[in-house]
Amino acid sequence: MVNEMAKEKRTVKAKKSVGRPKVKWKSKANADRIFALMQDGKSLRQICRENGWPHSTVLAWLNSEFSDQYTQAQERRADYYFEEILEIADSCPADKEEVAAAKLRIDTRKWIMGRMSPKKYSDRVNVDMSGETKVTHDGTVEFTPTDMAISRLDEIIGRVVGTGKDTSMEDTGKE
């Protein structure tokens, strides 16, 4: 019986690793591979699904360590979609249903391109105004009030007079 207990003590079980498993996909080579695939039109979600990687974790990792490269890959992916739009439009037959399907595909890609590379493909018109603007005023303001404005002022003055408040106004030169 003592021998049996000694044998049981001698067999040591392998330790199980504790904590988070080591991440094998976090490498510069994988990041470069991801960016190359994105430039060929694949989405990050599609790349992660094909490789069994967690999308949100990969996105956070790329944004934290490879932010500039990720942005460039998105812009190049938008360029890929631009070229794809031309192919869709050029290869579309004159059939009414096919034209509608092609229009949907083109509009979807245009919308996505506007988000991936807004400076280049957005429908928004940005007006950048820079420089100095100097406004001078001599202190006089001339205006002709409308009948509606006069009646509104009369109403306001009537309320003030009705409450017994001082209705005199002075021009203090302050706004």
pLDDT score recorded for residue 174: 55
pLDDT score recorded for residue 103: 92
- The C-alpha atoms of residue 34 and residue 54 are separated, in whole angstroms, by 13
**Which residue, among 68, 75, 56, has the nearest Cα to 116 in the 3D structure?**
75
pLDDT < 70 regions, the chain: 1-23, 125-131, 133, 135, 141, 143, 163-175
- The C-alpha atoms of residue 93 and residue 104 are separated, in whole angstroms, by 14
pLDDT score recorded for residue 71: 87
Instruction: Taking each helix axis as running N to C, give the angle between helix 28-39 and helix 44-51, from 0 to 180 degrees, rounded to the nearest 10.
Output: 130
pLDDT score recorded for residue 49: 92
**Which residue, among 16, 70, 79, has the nearest Cα to 47 in the 3D structure?**
70
For residue 150, the SS3 value is helix
All domains of the chain, ordered by start, with CATH?
24-120 (1.10.10.60)
pLDDT score recorded for residue 12: 55
pLDDT score recorded for residue 7: 56
User: Can you give the pTM of this predicted structure?
Assistant: 0.53
